[in-house]
């Protein structure tokens, strides 16, 4: 069985490390293949690491998560984007889905 290849995009290194620890609890099924600290960097990394899933923070410098999600879904339709945010409002959820996100996770 193939592992799910995950790229983590968050501008806070500590948050990326926590997410990595959580995902590494299921090493049999999930492999973290890369990290990015802004939406622009996500684009440079995708062709190199070929992720199945991008865990994308909404609020990032250079290119925010919504703009990056929209570009990814257009250029890499096989890559699933899951938006992560501390914002629990339904307005953010709607925006994320509109931009092509497949799922929305609220960060604690």
How do residues 7-17 score in pLDDT, each as one tens digit? Answer: 999 999 999 99
Which of the four pLDDT bands, split at 50, 70 and 90, describes residue 22?
A: very high
Work out the percent of the chain whose per-residue pLDDT is above 90. 65
Q: Which of 58, 23, 62 is nearest to 41 (CA)?
A: 62
Q: State the average pLDDT for the chain.
A: 91
pTM over 0.85: yes
Which of the four pLDDT bands, split at 50, 70 and 90, describes residue 89?
A: confident
Q: Phi-psi category of 75—alpha, beta or left, where left has phi over 0 and alpha has psi -120 to 50?
A: alpha
Q: How far is CA 7 from CA 35, 64, 79, 88, 91, in A?
A: 6, 16, 10, 22, 25
């Amino acid at each position: 069985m193939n592992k799910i290849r995950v790229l983590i995009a968050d501008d806070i290194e500590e948050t990326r490390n926590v997410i990595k620890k959580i995902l590494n609890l299921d090493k049999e099924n999930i492999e973290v293949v890369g990290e990015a600290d802004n939406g622009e960097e996500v684009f440079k990394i995708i062709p190199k690491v070929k992720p199945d899933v991008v865990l994308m923070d909404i609020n990032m410098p250079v290119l925010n998560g919504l703009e990056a999600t929209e570009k990814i879904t257009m250029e890499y339709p096989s890559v699933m984007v899951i938006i992560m945010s501390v914002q629990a409002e339904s307005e953010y959820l709607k925006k994320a889905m509109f931009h092509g996100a497949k799922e929305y996770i609220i960060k604690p």
